[in-house]
Amino acid sequence: MTQVRGNDLLIARSTAKEELRLTALQRSMHLYTVGATGSGKSKFLEYLIRQDIKTWIHSECGLLLLDPHASARATWVVAYVSASVVTDNMVDALAHVWGAGDTNKTPLMARTAATVFQALYEHKRTLVEALTILDFSSHDFRARLATTIEDETTRVNLERMNNLRPQDYNAES
Ligand SMILES: Nc1ncnc2c1ncn2[C@@H]1O[C@H](COP(=O)(O)OP(=O)(O)OP(=O)(O)O)[C@@H](O)[C@H]1O
Ligand SMILES: [Mg+2]
């Protein structure tokens, strides 16, 4: 049987909870959505796209939306794809707040901020706890966090914060 990458799609669910699905193979061919104006074509496509975004972590299949009339972009709040996208945007926002266009000249800040945001994100913590992660006396807290962090770069940097003396960590570029 032909193998294709990607996730299946839930198209509909009946009142008896029976599901109509398109398999990855079936959806690898063209899908043509027709209906009268206002019948829900765009909403239906949004529903499929959201499934793809949610499943990305398993399928690792990218998604490109071409919308010549820009109707989707105007009305949808499209979710983010992965934690690192959130983290990167937070770091960029931080740089922006401090008047910098990017973090090219502040690699230590970029690395530290990415570590903190990623750790908070993975553990569903609040920004208040960023201060605890950054506090050099919070050795045990960081060590505990590091044991359960999925992102390897973040884990390694949390360990570096613990293993280096504060002045050595801060002296890094
Ligand atoms: N399953 C649904 N449940 C509730 N409301 C829906 C559903 N599908 C669509 N709608 C609503 O119906 C309206 C029309 O939907 P939609 O824009 O998707 O239609 P369309 O077929 O793409 O229309 P057009 O041909 O004008 O592009 C929207 O306000 C949408 O929010
Ligand atoms: Mg439409």
98 shares a domain with 34? no
Mean pLDDT, all residues of the chain: 88
Output helix, strand, coil percentages for the chain, rounded to the nearest 5.
Answer: 55, 5, 40
Residue 80 has pLDDT above 60, yes or no: no
Provide the pLDDT for residue 64. 80
Pocket of ligand 1 (CB under 6 A): 35, 37-43
Domain of residue 38 covers 9-76
Ligand nearest to the CA of 75: 1
Q: Which atom of ligand 1 is nearest to the CA of 46?
A: 18
Average pLDDT for residues 142-148, to the nearest whole number?
93
| Residue to mutate, 32, 42, 46, ligand 1, most ligand atoms under 8 Å from C-beta | 42
pLDDT bracket for residue 84 (50, 70, 90): confident
pTM, two decimals, is 0.55
Distance CA 41, CA 95 (A): 40
DSSP for 28-85, please give it.
Answer: TS-------TTSSHHHHHHHHHHHHHHHHHHH--------TT-HHHHH--PPPS-HHH
Nearest CA to ligand 1 atom 14: 38
99 shares a domain with 148? yes
Distance CA 53, CA 63 (A): 8
Average pLDDT for residues 6-10, to the nearest whole number?
94
- Number of independent structural domains in the chain: 2
Q: How far is the CA of 102 from the centre of ligand 1 (A)?
A: 40
Phi, psi of 113 (to 5 degrees): -65, -40
Which helix (H) or strand (E) is 10 found in, with range?
strand 9-13
Ligand nearest to the CA of 67: 2
Q: Is residue 162 part of a domain?
A: yes
54 shares a domain with 13? yes
For 98-140, write each residue's pLDDT tens digit: 999 889 999 999 999 999 999 999 998 999 999 999 998 999 9
Q: Is residue 133 part of a domain?
A: yes
For 47-68, write each residue's pLDDT tens digit: 999 899 889 888 888 888 877 7
Q: Is residue 4 part of a domain?
A: no
Ligand nearest to the CA of 72: 2
Q: Is residue 1 part of a domain?
A: no
For 26-48, write each residue's pLDDT tens digit: 998 889 999 999 999 988 998 99
Contact partners, residue 111, CB within 8 Å, separation at least 6:
157
95 shares a domain with 70? no
